[in-house]
A and B are shown apart, each in its own frame.
Chain A
Amino acid sequence: MRAPMPDLLLTLALHLEEVLVLGAGLFALGLYLALSKRNAVGVLMGVELMLNAVNVTLLAFSRFVVSPRPLDGQVFAVFVITVAAAEAAVALALAVAVYKHRETVNIDELDMLRW
């Protein structure tokens, strides 16, 4: 590996804040999707996007912030991925099961539990 040469152009830098803003943006988009979509699969997409945004934030903290055990953030992210996968499987199975009874997965038509 050669030694890096001094860079004459401007040097860019990535700070914790920018990554966190990205995570916040993805989380807000996921929230919007989960609250506004009519199809249950669309709602689930929003939830998955929110979980991913949380993972981005976790990994950003694990990379940038002072900690005695910095890798714990990544461990946590793997657990989040695991739980999200389980949640996706069950939620989609629920959607299919609901469809079998009601012929629809639109959440605004599934109002049998309404007062």
Chain B
Amino acid sequence: MTMLLSLLTIVTDNWWDIRDLSNVSGAVLDIIDDLGGPAWLIYIVSALLGTLAIISFIGGVAIINIWVERRVVGRMQSRLGPNRLGPFGLLQPIADAIKLMQKEVLQPKSAPGLIFTLAPIMFTIPGIAMMAVLPWGRNMSLANVDVGILYILGLSSLGALAVFMAGYSSNNKYALFGSMRVIAMLVSYEIPIVLSLLGIVLFTGTMNPQGIVLFQEHYWSLMILLQPLAFIIYFFSVSAELNRTPADIAEAESEIVGGYHTEYSGMKFGLFYAAELINAVAVSAIISTLFLGGWWAYKLDEIVPGWMIYIGKIYTVYFVFVWTRGTLPRFRIDQLLAFAWKWLTPMALLNIVMVSAEVTIWEESGLSAGIVLPIYMVINTAAAGAIIYAFVRFLAPKFERFPTQLRFYSNIDVPSLPAVAAPPDRAKVSV
């Protein structure tokens, strides 16, 4: 088991050295050791300490992010957002939580109770459990798992089952629609996600998140610069998986009431709401680990504690998620699925071909990383731009500013319009 969970090891004996929080837990473990505690107690205590740290971070983030999200989106939409309760409305999430706890938890009479109750719990767990394998500093990773990326992928696929359980057990057609949409979407977007992460695994030669951070530190280069295309694909795919507004067809209020959580109320609904925020933070953490260097930031991590840099990166990525949510309109389901299959999957395949060629060239030529990596950065950025341009040029639906054909009535036998001279008069073709 030591192989799987390399525990929080001790760096120095100075517990007050907050540059590495593992010093604190190391001090606690030292005390147990001095008192003659057995090995398994140290093992359990160190595991508990790490778990406690992650759960309290997640819990705090879920409370704070309600406020952050509402304020930021409000700002983007020229609104104020919650600003009454406490300074800047900071106490609003707590009031919301109290309200949700007081509410009666209604349950449809025909719902199978066990599954109905289990679904929000199963939906929340993967987001929290994902954080376990991510490194917070050089010695701060709760579980240094060698197959960390696969673990993350496996957990994110568990969410599909939870959503399906929620939708199915609600015994409500809107809930079932919502969960069917989620499944269709998750199944489609799983492929570009896996393929884009495969590019990183190929390049770094490890599936360990800490190993990927160390690779970026060793070669002094961020993964986002080396593989911009993979980053773009991953970012779009996970924002679809997160069910947030550009892609929140699963709970589109204007179409299917509330989607899979239509029938949920009280704290069960609260869990769904919190899980959405937790998943967003977990995904931001994954992106900042794999693409943005995690706790490492060139020379900065010698001055600032690594975990602070990491939280800063997480919130930067999270802000981009909120940004897309606040500014983009919702996709239709067919657009979303076509985007996964026609755009992201071919792009990801091209990316993999490119990356494996580069890895082979690097290994065979024996050139030093200092020469190869900058060249790769330039080539890959150019290639990403070229591929995206090519896709937009040849695959995007043509935007007709002045349609010459009547649309939406193609099934009816409409007499063809008289040929109009360019530029056509819009009033003539209005339906």
A interface residues, Cβ below 8 angstroms from B: 1-2, 4-5, 7-9
Contact = CB atoms under 8 A, between A and B. Distances in A.
B38 A8 contact: yes
Given A1-B2, A2-B33, A7 B9 contact: no
Nearest to A1: B9
A46 to B, nearest CB: 20
Given A2-B29, A5-B42, A7-B40, 17 more contacts: A1-B2, A1-B6, A1-B7, A1-B9, A2-B9, A2-B10, A2-B33, A2-B42, A4-B39, A5-B33, A5-B37, A5-B38, A5-B39, A7-B38, A7-B39, A8-B38, A9-B38
A1 B10 CA distance: 8
Contacts, number: 20
B10 to A, nearest CB: 8
Interface in B40-55: 40, 42
Nearest to B29: A2
B343 to A, nearest CB: 26
Contacts of B37: 5
A9 B37 CA distance: 11
Contacts of B2: 1
Contacts of A7: 38-40
14 contacts: A1-B2, A1-B7, A1-B9, A2-B9, A2-B10, A2-B29, A2-B33, A2-B42, A4-B39, A5-B33, A7-B39, A7-B40, A8-B38, A9-B38
Nearest to B32: A5
Most chain B C-beta atoms within 10 Å of own C-beta, residue among A4, A5, A7: A5
Interface residues of B, number: 12
Interface string B1-18: 010001101100000000
Contacts of B42: 2, 5
Contacts of A1: 2, 6-7, 9
A1 to B, nearest CB: 6
A5 B37 CA distance: 8
Nearest to B7: A1
Contacts of B7: 1
Contacts of B40: 7
A74 to B, nearest CB: 12
A94 B7 CA distance: 48
Nearest to A7: B38
Nearest to B9: A1
Task: List 4 A-B pairs, minimum CB-CB distance, nearest first.
Answer: A4-B39, A5-B39, A7-B38, A5-B38
A8 B40 CA distance: 11
A9 to B, nearest CB: 6
Most chain B C-beta atoms within 10 Å of own C-beta, residue among A1, A2, A7, A9: A2
B11 to A, nearest CB: 13
A43 B42 CA distance: 46
Interface in B181-206: none
A26 to B, nearest CB: 21
A8 B37 CA distance: 9
A21 B2 CA distance: 26
Interface in B298-323: none
A2 B46 CA distance: 12
Nearest to B10: A2
A114 B39 CA distance: 64
Interface in B248-295: none
A7 B38 CA distance: 6
Nearest to B26: A2
A67 B6 CA distance: 28
Contacts of B39: 4-5, 7
Contacts of B29: 2
Contacts of A2: 9-10, 29, 33, 42
A5 B10 CA distance: 16
Nearest to B43: A4
B130 to A, nearest CB: 22
A85 to B, nearest CB: 13
A9 B39 CA distance: 10
A8 B9 CA distance: 23
B23 to A, nearest CB: 15
A54 to B, nearest CB: 21
Nearest to A5: B39
Contacts of A9: 38
A93 B10 CA distance: 54
Nearest to A4: B39
A81 to B, nearest CB: 12
Nearest to B2: A1
A9 B44 CA distance: 15
A2 B10 CA distance: 9
A73 B37 CA distance: 38
B34 to A, nearest CB: 11
A2 to B, nearest CB: 7
B393 to A, nearest CB: 37
A1 B144 CA distance: 13
A8 B41 CA distance: 12
